[in-house]
Structure 1
Amino acid sequence: MIFVVFLGFQACDQSEENTPDITQEEFPDLKIFLDRFETEAKRRGYNFNFSGLDIAYVNEIRLSDNRTFCGIGYTRHPQTGKRAVLISKSKNCDWANRSDIQRENLFFHEMGHAFLNLEHDDALMCDGKPLSIMTNAFNQFFIYKENEPNLREYYLDELFDRLAANEQCIDFGQNFNQDPVFFKNELPDPIWSSSNDDGNYQITRGVHSNTNTPYLEITSSGNGKNTGYIYRQLDMPNIPEGATVILRTKVNAENLEGPGVAIAMRVYDTRIGPTGASINESHTLTTEPNPVNGKLENHVLELQLPNFTRKTIFLIPFAVMMPGTKGQAFFDDFEILVEPK
């Protein structure tokens, strides 16, 4: 999993009213905003130690793919190993001419990445506003304004506790009672990862020629000493609180010899401690203790996660072939379904 996160947006001008504008310098000490973050944390019951955090200006933030950004948050900086928030002095970011509240928006967003281990969350409220300050779909200089104290309060509540979003009207992007499919394997989706145990498994994604439906395929000659698997990490899943989340697939195989195949789902949240948040595996569900083998025709494998919580930051479904299995297995209709409470 990658815990380096960043943003880069242009924004319009705005003034400030309810938050004192104490940062008229072009590049004021960033500790002003760290102190403010600490104050907001204490109001919500947290006492933090920032000795493991670096905050600094840099002339430019440019990644290896040549993209530039106005801020970046590291949970572990590649050189120092420390948590870090970097703010760009680039003219394109125009930090020197930003108001205090605009700077606060960006700095708090990056602290969410660097200190609270949060990824981007692009869910929306029913009125079209971002559900979280951690959005990547909106300009992070303008998530809340100086004349929106109640909105600021909500966004900071949600920053420290994702359950605060449950008080809002959330746009889930679909009616799960009518369309329960939250996620499914689609061939154009490139963001899949796999482990082939040093080549002992052949793992592919494709489309059946006769049905035009996508599949996950795992094949082995039986020499695998570890499991072979393919998975997809789903960040910040926008699923209703209390819903039942179901991982389901149909397995087809001519003659699987040995232990066989299985599915699994891992669920992660964060635990906030004095020196920042850590990633916590809250649930592990798997059929690996009871794999299936032999001749399989649309054999259904299913796992259920009851009582989903918005604290979840990662949801990871797996298709698995067990060590020592010989043969070819297709995982068809590999999908995640949601049943609202």
Structure 2
Amino acid sequence: MNKALPVILICLLLFQCDSGKDGLPANSQLLRNTDISLSPDSFSPWVPVTNDGFSLGISQETFLSGNRSLFIENQDSLNVNAALWRQTYDGPMPSEGRRLTLRAHLKGENIELKSTGSNIYISVRMFPVEDSEGTTINRFLSSQNRFRIFGTFDWEPLAVSIPSFPKDVEFITVYLVMGPRTTGKVFFDDITLTVE
């Protein structure tokens, strides 16, 4: 038994050292203010990025949880610009190979898609856009070409997953987007970016 004790201690020590390299644990939430209700005076850290013709704001009448939601609205069917909300995460990163899922709930009012590039979508991008070996695999994912969102609908979930978290990530940005030549009004709530 005395001979086995040093081996057991070394194994435990190696296990503890190795577990420190695992990055963020499963169920870690990378976004803040996910229900847009953190402060009555601010939507921070969400940042609106708008172009002519769009209205971006906070709705206190339409929300899924908390007491507010983000919205994007466009009524000009010839508007070839896009508008979005974004949030950046630059804290501790998940370990390489972990699954990362972006989820949001959307509600639409009279959403019409006027061209092939029109859509409402969510996306996640890792920065820098290439790793140290010049690889871009698993560094960007979008729901844009996977789901066509249109019409009037109540709160629906939308999710995209990066199956294997890449290496050399310094920060992550998520986007909630109304694309070009898309009309109507879309609300976003319960937006999460979760390590799995």
Same-fold call, TM cutoff 0.5: yes
Instruction: Report what 2:30 is aligned to.
Output: 182
Give the percent of matched residue pairs that are identical in Structure 1 and Structure 2. 20
Change (3 A) 1:180 1:298: farther
Q: Does 1:336 align with 2:193?
A: yes
How many residue pairs match? The answer is 165
Change (3 A) 1:296 1:266: same
Runs (5+) with no aligned partner, structure 1: 1-165
Instruction: Report what 1:263 is aligned to.
Output: 122
Which of 67, 72, 76 does residue 218 from structure 1 map onto? 72
Which of 133, 139, 154 does residue 283 from structure 1 map onto? 139
State the alpha-carbon separation in 1 of the partners of residues 143 and 102 from structure 2.
11
| Cα drift, residue 256 of structure 1 | 1.1
State the alpha-carbon separation in 1 of the partners of residues 112 and 172 from structure 2.
30
State the alpha-carbon separation in 1 of the partners of residues 23 and 138 from structure 2.
23
Matching of residues 73-222 of structure 1 within 5 Å = 167=18, 169=20, 176=26, 179-184=27-32, 185=34, 186-187=36-37, 188=39, 190-197=44-51, 199-208=52-61, 211-222=65-76
* SS state at 2:31 partner: strand
> Which of the pair has the greater relative contact order for Cα pairs under 8 Å at 6+ separation?
2
* SS state at 1:251 partner: strand
State the alpha-carbon separation in 2 of the partners of residues 237 and 331 from structure 1.
26
State the alpha-carbon separation in 2 of the partners of residues 312 and 192 from structure 1.
21
Instruction: Report what 2:95 is aligned to.
Output: 240
State the alpha-carbon separation in 2 of the partners of residues 316 and 239 from structure 1.
14
State the alpha-carbon separation in 1 of the partners of residues 177 and 98 from structure 2.
25
Deviations 1:105-127 (A, max 9, x none): xxxxxxxxxxxxxxxxxxxxxxx
* SS state at 1:233 partner: strand
Alpha carbons 2:79, 2:181 under 8 Å: kept: yes
Runs (5+) with no aligned partner, structure 2: 1-16
Change (3 A) 1:325 1:272: closer
State the alpha-carbon separation in 1 of the partners of residues 143 and 137 from structure 2.
18
State the alpha-carbon separation in 1 of the partners of residues 22 and 165 from structure 2.
17
State the alpha-carbon separation in 2 of the partners of residues 209 and 230 from structure 1.
17
* SS state at 1:292 partner: coil
Higher Rg: 1
Alpha carbons 1:268, 1:281 under 8 Å: kept: no
Alpha carbons 1:196, 1:202 under 8 Å: kept: yes
Cα RMSD (Å) of the superposition? 3.1
Alpha carbons 1:232, 1:316 under 8 Å: kept: yes
What letter is aligned with 2:47? S
* SS state at 1:335 partner: strand
Instruction: Report what 1:304 is aligned to.
Output: 161
Deviations 1:2-25 (A, max 9, x none): xxxxxxxxxxxxxxxxxxxxxxxx
Deviations 1:126-169 (A, max 9, x none): xxxxxxxxxxxxxxxxxxxxxxxxxxxxxxxxxxxxxxxx9561
What letter is aligned with 2:73? T
State the alpha-carbon separation in 1 of the partners of residues 62 and 149 from structure 2.
25
Alpha carbons 1:266, 1:281 under 8 Å: kept: no
| Cα drift, residue 171 of structure 1 | 8.8
Instruction: Report what 1:126 is aligned to.
Output: none
Quick check: which one's helix share is greater?
1
| Cα drift, residue 228 of structure 1 | 1.1
